[in-house]
Structure 1
Amino acid sequence: MLSQTLNSLLTLCVLFQLSSALHCDQEGLAAYRLQEVLKDIKSKTFNTDTPPSVSTFTWYLNLCGTGDQDFPDPECPKNSQICGVKSVSLPGQSPIKTEIITLGNGLNYQIEESTKEFIDLKLDDTNWGSNTISSNFHLVCANEENIDVSFNDNTLKLTLSTPGACLKEDKEHTPPPPPPPPGSDDSWGWFTWFFILGVLFTGGYIIGSAWVGRGSDEFQDAIHDFIDTLKSLLANLPEFIGEIFNKVFGNSGNSGRGGYTSV
């Protein structure tokens, strides 16, 4: 009985440690790309001149990853979703770590506001020595990533611009087909008109020749023959244009692909 209880407790501890900081794939955050983009540890370093020293504050973010990932700084516990390490460097001396701030994965959070452009989160307060830290996350939908962290008066504010704060693409709607090359419709229209004008000119020439060199009966027959021929040409015109289009553009497309393959 005791061994079963210990095993159950061990299992709970493992599950707690491997749980992500934010439930990025659940509840109100599942509609965003957070889990896809923020599953790895990210960092940002801020340097400040504090003569005669230089202060360096490095923040590590593990918002949607599991708690089994090692932070680059060994001072950061594995089960942290945010870890900040401040160090001070004096000329000719090794840096001294003066502050270590961590927010554990077990903190609850509330979604204060969420739109297609941003997400505002507020985390439960956490202890930092004898102090209490309050935390607010402002996640902004952006193509390029940028991290900004401020820590003043025991208040931590994270502003993270990231594609992860953007809504997922709607898989139900397929993207529209690409537009045709510029000028392709105009050039094809000119060719069609040129063909039609050529047919009319040829027909006019035939009718005129019949009028000049033959009698009225032969002229009427020529007109009827021309009308029948014109109807036949117009009926077969779409198929004729399609064949020419396939031969011209189809062959050029195959030639381009063949050349690319040979390279």
Structure 2
Amino acid sequence: MRLPRPHHLFLLLPAAAAVSATSWGCQTVQSGLTYDFKSLGGAHSVVSSISTPPTIQNTTWSIDPCAPLQKNKDTDAKEQCPDGTYVCGLVRHIDTAGKSFLAEVIPVAGDIDGHAVDEQVLLLNATEAGGKPRGVRVEFNGGNNFAGHEQRAVVDFVCDKDVTGEADEAITFVSYEWSESAKKQVLRLEWKTKMACVENAKGGGKGEEKKSAHWGFFTWLFIIVFLGAAAYLICVVWLGWDLRPHRDMIGEMSYLVKDFFGRVGSTLQGRSSRGGYSAV
């Protein structure tokens, strides 16, 4: 049997890195935990109002955090944001008689006219020192140059254990104003949802964190033992060493591997039988 030469293994590394790189996709990995917001997919809206005598200005901010907003076939395309928009603002003026007319269409964020939504994600700081993150912030970019300004939407998904976040009432309009630091017109929304809580993140919670760290030790130990054994056998085969002086070492290695897997099996069995974590 011809073994692969070591330098061939490095050719596989770029491919592995490419597979691990993922886009937003309505979920994010932060501090080793996966926050999944796919249940919030679909169009959601919140309205902000200001007095503009003799009218009232209502702006309907629509967002789909997971995909571009779907067009309404019964509405004129000119009265909707362009294809690829994730966050859209429709500004209407309402007179004293209750009649309204559409004044502005604002494509705030999305894959629009060569721009990219390019979501940026980070954890929201805890409200007190040593506390858990209070949620996840997502920046949606790609808004067209509207009224001379580039656009951006910043959505804070805030942890609320009693709210699913699937209803529009969970979304609050915060502001829509010029950001000097970003050099963009920025829409800010707050979205309460239990999906932003650490306890609901995949792998989240104290027990899961312990389990993950516990198994990580065995994983690294196995890798080290496996690589050491592989390197030893490669040297034996490639360099043509006589195996007879090394029989005792090979036997000892076999015993160590068997003992290692025995400990792993005992640990896993202990967890399933007691629902806890056995000491090692």
**TM-score, structure 1 as length reference:** 0.48
- Higher fraction of helix: 1
**TM-score, structure 2 as length reference:** 0.45
